Structure 1
Amino acid sequence: MAPRPARQPPGDPPWLLVLAMGLTVAVTGCGTVPDQKLSLSGSSTVAPLAAEIAKRYEARHPGIRVDVQAGGSSRGIADARSGTAQIGLVSRALKPQEADLQATTIAIDGIALIVNGANPVRSLSDDQVRAVYTGAITNWRQLGGADAAITVVTKAEGRSTLELFLEHFRLDNRRIKASVVIGDNQQGLLTVAGDPHALGYVSIGTASQEAKAGTAIRLLPLAGVAPSLENVRSGRYPLSRPLNLVIQPPVAAGVADFLAFARTPEVRDLVEAQFFVPPAR
C-alpha cells in the first residue's frame, strides 16, 4: 500500500503564502514608497507645537511618521549636529558659534514670570526679581505679600528659557539661590500651581494655555507690559524669542518638505492654539 501523503497543518496553504510574497515584491517593484520617519528633538516649549504640526503633516503624507521628543534646546542643537535627530527644536535664536546650523522660525513666544493664583502680588520690578533670585529678598512680605518664604523656581542648565531669563535680568546662574530646579514648562507650572509661595518663569504660550484651562497660576507683567500675544506680536513685550526648527545642512528632501509645511498658512491655527504668535511671512 502506498504511504499516505502527510497532512498539511492548519493555516494558510503554501501556495497562498507564496502568492502573498509575490504580490509584496510586485507592489514594491511598482514604486510604492516605504514608510519614512522624521525625528525631532529638543525644546520642551517647541515640542508640543511640533507634535501638532507633525500630526497634520502625517495626515497629509501617508507613509511618513514623525517622532517628536523633548529634552531642552541644548539637546536640540546637539542632536541636529550629531544626526541623532534630523531636526532640532530650539526655543531661541542661534548663537554665533552655531553658524553651521540653519534655523526655520515657526512661531514667536515670550517668557513670563508666574506666581500662584492665590498670591496677592500683582507685579515685580526687575530689581526685585534679581533680589529674589540672588537671595537678597527671601520673604513675600518684603514685596507686599504674605509673611511667607519665597519658593524660588528656576530652570535646569541646557534650557534656553534659563539662558534668556539670565540675560534679561543680568544674572549669573552661579549666584541663583533656587529652592526648586525644574526641566520643562509643565514641571514649572505644576510646581507654582501647587505652592502658594512659589515664583517661577515659563513660556507665555504654555502659561497662557494653562491659565485659560483653570490652572492656579497668574502671569505677571514685565517692565509694566502685560505678557500677552498682542504685546509679543507688536514687539512691546521685552522678553520674546523665536521658536525654531534647526537642521545641519545639507538638508534631505523629506526634511525640507516638513520645514516648508511648518511655515505654511495650513498650520497657523495650530500656532495660535498654542498661544504663540505666527512668524511674519
Structure 2
Amino acid sequence: MKKFILLSLIGMLGLSTMSFASRIIQVKGSDTIVNASQYIVEEYMVNHSNARIAVTGGGSGVGISSLINGTADIGMASRNIKEKEIQEAKKRGEKLNEVVIGFDGITVIVNKNNKLSNLSHETLGKIFRGEITNWKELGGEDGQIIVLSRDSSSGTHEFFKDHIVRDKNTMKTAEYGKGVLYMPSNEAIKQEVLSNKNAIGYIGMGYVDNKIKSLTVDNIAPTIKNVGNKRYPIAREIYWYVKETDNKTVNSLVKYALSPAGQEIVKSEGFVPVK
C-alpha cells in the first residue's frame, strides 16, 4: 500500500512538473540579440509577474529550428529565415510570422594598435576568403592576418558570408578561407581581437566598446543613422520569429518588444530601434 502511494505521488509530481514546464515560454536563438531579448523579458515580467519566460542563445539556426520543432515559442534571429525552413514549418502545419525588433550594423573590429581605420567591402571579402593574408599588403605592419568569424550556427556568420565573402551573392560559391578561426560568440571574437594585434573579426554593434577599434567600411561608420537608413554596407534587421498563436503571453511579449519601452531597451543595448 505504501509502495502504491509512493508511486502515485511520483506520478503526480511528474505530471505537475510537465504542466509547469509547459507554461514556460521559451525564447531561443541568436547570440547577437540574446542580451537585448533577456533585458526585454526582464522588464516585461516586472508588470507580468505570473509569466514564466526563459531566454537562451545557441545561434539563429537553433532558434528557428527550435521554433519549428516546438521546443521554442519565439526564435531569435540575426538573419532572414531560409526557404527550406519555411517549407519545413509548412510540413508541420505551422505558419511563422517575422517580427523586426531592431537593426544592427555588423561591425568589423581590429586591435587598437592596428594602423588601419577603413577597409572597402571588396578588400574585406579578400581577407575573409584568404586572398589577402598579411597586413603589409594593406599598408599595415608586417604580420599574418588572423581572421575570426562566428561559427556556422550563427546568423551573423551567414549574413557576413552572403554580403562580404560572396560580395552580395555575386560570388555565389565563395566560402570563408581555410585559415579562418570560428568563434562561438561575439564576446569570444572581441576578446581575441583585444589580445591579438594581428586579428580581425566582426561583431554585432551592441557588443562594441572602446577597448577595441572599429573600422569603417567603404568609409562609412556603423552609426545609428547609417545603420537605420541602410547606408552602412553591412546593416541588417534583427528578428523574432513566432508562430501564429493565441498564447496571450507570447503575443503580449511581442507587443511589448515593439512598444516605446521595448524599443528603448533595443536602443540601450546598442542596436537601432525600428520605432
TM-score of the superposed pair, with normalisation by structure 1: 0.80
Paired residue secondary structure (1:39):
strand
Report the CA distance between 1:250 and its aligned residue.
Answer: 3.1
Equivalents in 2 of 1:238, 1:87: separation in Å? 28
Equivalents in 2 of 1:179, 1:66: separation in Å? 37
Superposition pairs of residues 176-215 of structure 1, within 5 angstroms = 176-207=177-208, 210-211=209-210, 215=211
Report the CA distance between 1:165 and its aligned residue.
Answer: 0.9
Equivalents in 2 of 1:162, 1:196: separation in Å? 22
One-letter identity of the residue aligned with 1:149: Q
64-73 vs 246-255, greater mean Cα deviation? 246-255
1:12 counterpart residue number = none
Q: Work out whether 1:91 is the aligned partner of 2:86.
A: no
Equivalents in 1 of 2:65, 2:85: separation in Å? 10
Equivalents in 1 of 2:68, 2:81: separation in Å? 13
Equivalents in 2 of 1:156, 1:128: separation in Å? 21
97-106 vs 240-249, greater mean Cα deviation? 97-106
2:144 counterpart residue number = 149
One-letter identity of the residue aligned with 2:196: D
Q: 2:233 aligns with which of 209, 216, 238?
A: 238
Q: Deviations over 1:91-124 (max 9, x none)?
A: 1233344443212111111112111111111111
Q: Deviations over 1:43-85 (max 9, x none)?
A: 0011100000011011111121221101100001001011111
Count of matched residue positions in the alignment of Structure 1 and Structure 2 = 242
Paired residues of 1:152 and 1:177 also in contact (CA < 8 A): no
Unmatched tracts of structure 1, length 5 or more: 1-34
One-letter identity of the residue aligned with 1:126: H
Q: Work out whether 1:63 is the aligned partner of 2:63.
A: no
192-201 vs 127-136, greater mean Cα deviation? 127-136
One-letter identity of the residue aligned with 2:43: R
Paired residues of 1:36 and 1:63 also in contact (CA < 8 A): no
Equivalents in 2 of 1:83, 1:251: separation in Å? 15
One-letter identity of the residue aligned with 1:81: I
Equivalents in 2 of 1:203, 1:242: separation in Å? 11
Paired residues of 2:161 and 2:176 also in contact (CA < 8 A): no
CA RMSD, 1 decimal: 2.0
Q: Percent identity among equivalent residues?
A: 30
Paired residue secondary structure (1:102):
strand
Unmatched tracts of structure 2, length 5 or more: 1-21, 87-94, 167-172
Equivalents in 2 of 1:230, 1:84: separation in Å? 37
Q: 1:78 aligns with which of 65, 89, 105?
A: 65
Q: 1:248 aligns with which of 243, 246, 255?
A: 243
